């Protein structure tokens, strides 16, 4: 019986199932390892066919030998040699078959290796198919996204069409607005031209350094104090000191009466300094009345001063413009008015001392007054042209922080007299404070300079006046009735 032979490979390359709808990749079929496996399979098939032919041939020979043995039993001995040779041939053929079988087994192992490689390739092929399926899934997702985006694009196109319509309407509206803007620009140009022409009539403004303003304002009164005291520290003539009528003008002025200012008719230090205080107070009020005005275009008292101050509290820009317009009116006339005001102040203040001073002293005193007033004009001029509204005032301060005690020349500090009973009378305000108006607020920049009745020089002047007062010619005698009255009051109190 013929040995079992492995089923050989088919002569053509293997084909995949048609139901899968796929075929071997052309690159896989052309792989060198795959071709080598295919050629080995073909070689095994050829060997199997050769073995089959040899096996058939051997069977025929054995059959002939058997027939020959059966027919020629008698020739057994003769045929032994032939049988022996045949047997040897068979053994030789068996060895050849065995050799061929061993070669076939080697080929079979190689086929198994190739089959293993084929399985690996099939596994890789399956993995690639999985990747392809995943790729197709991603492609489907992308298609869905594309479909969604196409829908969005359609919506955007629709919105774009609406925007184009709105854009066209906006362009029409812009044309209309440009036409209106052109008309408004022309109107603005005309108004700007008229406004520039109107503003050209004004003098413009000066931006003040307020720290410098405060320093200059304080230096003005310090200069006035020193300048006037140079004239008043000179002793008065003895004839004048004894003439009571010569003192009436000074002692009967409103400030002296209102504040009960002691003005001794002597050349003592206290008398000179009290005369200085009253003259500086009068001078400061004259300067405030004639010089510290918004303009010099009106008469003695500018009626617009209070109106402008009230306007500044309501509309600061309007006040500044009105003041600038007033300041620009007839500058030459205002300059002449300013000089007249200076002369008027000198005349008014010097009149209080015209009888007390000699002609030479009076001339020097008038020159000092003119120097002080001229300096006040120079300091007040930039304030008149400032954008902010500044004013001076002699109103009493609301707190001690807003006041400053007047210091006489030569005295660095002031000590209140300790042995004097306080008197209920308002202090003499010598120099006014300056403030800026912002809305309904007054922003103070300088304190009010004042002289109190508790001041040592004031007290000394009062004592001097009491000592100089004429004594009575009558002797004072206490009557018995007065003694009885005092006794009854004392008993009732007990």
Q: How confident is the model at residue 17 (pLDDT cuts 50, 70, 90)?
A: very low
Structure tokens at 40: 């080995």
9 and 42 Cβ atoms separated by less than 8 Å: yes
Q: What is the pLDDT of residue 469?
A: 60
User: Domain ranges in the chain?
Assistant: 25-149, 209-468
Tell me what the mean pLDDT of segment 241-251 comes to.
Answer: 91
272 and 411 Cβ atoms separated by less than 8 Å: no
Instruction: Report the DSSP pairing between strands 433-438 and 441-444.
Output: antiparallel
- The helix (H) or strand (E) run that includes residue 142 is helix 76-201
CA dist., res. 273 & res. 409, Å (int): 8
**How high is the mean pLDDT of the chain?**
81
Closest among 285, 288, 317, 281 to 305, alpha carbons compared? 288
Q: What is the pLDDT of residue 42?
A: 87
Q: What is the pLDDT of residue 24?
A: 52
With left for phi above 0 and alpha for psi between -120 and 50, is residue 353 left, alpha or beta?
alpha
CA dist., res. 396 & res. 400, Å (int): 10
More confident residue, 280 or 186: 280
**Among the ranges 67-71, 126-130, 133-137, 265-269, which has the highest mean pLDDT value?**
265-269
**242-246, 343-347, 367-371, 410-414: range with lowest mean pLDDT:** 410-414
Structure tokens at 65: 């030998």
Q: What is the pLDDT of residue 397?
A: 73
CA dist., res. 416 & res. 185, Å (int): 70
More confident residue, 172 or 27: 172
What does the pLDDT look like over 302-337, one tens digit per residue?
667 888 888 888 888 888 888 888 777 778 888 899
Structure tokens at 58: 């051997």
What does the pLDDT look like over 120-151, one tens digit per residue?
888 888 888 888 888 888 898 888 889 888 88
Q: How confident is the model at residue 493 (pLDDT cuts 50, 70, 90)?
A: very low
Collapsing DSSP to helix, strand or coil, 187 comes out as helix
391 and 437 Cβ atoms separated by less than 8 Å: yes
More confident residue, 365 or 469: 365
What does the pLDDT look like over 204-243, one tens digit per residue?
556 778 888 889 999 999 999 999 999 999 999 999 998 8
What is the CB neighbour count within 10 angstroms for residue 420? 15
Lookup result for tokens 């009345």: 289
What's the pTM value of the predicted model, to 2 decimals?
0.57
- For the cut 90, the answer to whether the pLDDT of residue 379 exceeds it is yes
DSSP 386: B
């Amino acid at each position: 019986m013929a040995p079992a032979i492995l089923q050989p490979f088919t002569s053509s390359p293997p084909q995949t199932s048609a139901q899968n709808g796929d075929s071997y990749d052309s690159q896989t079929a052309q792989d060198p390892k795959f071709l080598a496996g295919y050629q080995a399979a073909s070689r095994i098939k050829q060997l199997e066919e050769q073995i089959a032919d040899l096996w058939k041939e051997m069977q025929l020979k054995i059959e002939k030998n058997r027939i020959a043995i059966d027919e020629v039993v008698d020739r057994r001995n003769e045929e032994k040699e032939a049988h022996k040779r045949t047997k040897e041939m068979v053994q030789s053929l068996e060895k050849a078959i065995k050799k061929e079988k061993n070669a076939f087994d080697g080929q079979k192992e190689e086929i198994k290796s190739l089959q293993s490689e084929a399985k690996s390739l099939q596994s890789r092929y399956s993995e690639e198919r999985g990747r392809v399926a995943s790729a197709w899934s991603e492609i489907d997702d992308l298609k869905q996204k594309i479909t969604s985006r196409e829908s969005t694009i359609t919506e955007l196109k629709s919105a774009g069409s609406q925007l184009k319509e709105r854009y066209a309407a906006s362009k029409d509206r812009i044309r209309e607005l440009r036409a209106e803007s052109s008309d408004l620009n022309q109107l603005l140009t005309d108004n700007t031209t008229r406004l520039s022409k109107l503003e050209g009539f004004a003098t413009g403004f000066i931006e003040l350094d307020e720290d410098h303003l405060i320093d200059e304002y304080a230096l003005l009164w310090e200069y006035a104090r020193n300048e006037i005291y140079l004239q008043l520290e000179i002793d008065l003539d003895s004839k004048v000191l004894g003439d009571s009528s010569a003192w009436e003008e000074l002692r009967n002025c409103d400030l002296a009466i209102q504040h009960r200012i002691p003005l001794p008719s002597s050349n003592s230090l206290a008398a000179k300094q009290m005369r200085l205080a009253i003259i500086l107070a009068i001078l400061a009020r004259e300067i405030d009345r004639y010089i510290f005005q918004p303009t010099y275009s009106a008469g003695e008292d500018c009626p617009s001063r209070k109106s402008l101050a009230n306007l500044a509290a309501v509309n600061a820009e309007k006040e500044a413009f009105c003041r600038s317009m007033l300041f620009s009116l007839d500058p030459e006339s205002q300059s002449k008015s300013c000089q007249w005001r200076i002369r008027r102040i000198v005349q008014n203040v010097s009149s209080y001392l015209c009888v007390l001073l000699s002609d030479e002293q009076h001339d020097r005193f008038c020159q000092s007054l003119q120097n002080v007033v001229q300096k006040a004009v120079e300091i007040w001029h930039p304030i008149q042209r400032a954008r902010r509204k500044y004013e001076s005032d002699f109103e009493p301060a609301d707190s001690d922080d807003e006041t400053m005690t007047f210091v006489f020349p030569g005295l660095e500090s002031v000590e209140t007299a300790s042995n004097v009973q306080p008197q209920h009378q308002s202090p003499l305000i010598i120099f006014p404070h300056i403030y800026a108006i912002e809305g309904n607020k007054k922003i103070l920049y300088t304190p009010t300079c004042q002289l109190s009745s508790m001041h040592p020089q004031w007290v000394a002047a009062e004592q001097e006046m009491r000592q100089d007062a004429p004594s009575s010619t009558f002797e004072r005698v206490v009557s018995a009735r007065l003694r009885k009255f005092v006794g009854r009051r004392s008993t009732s109190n007990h």
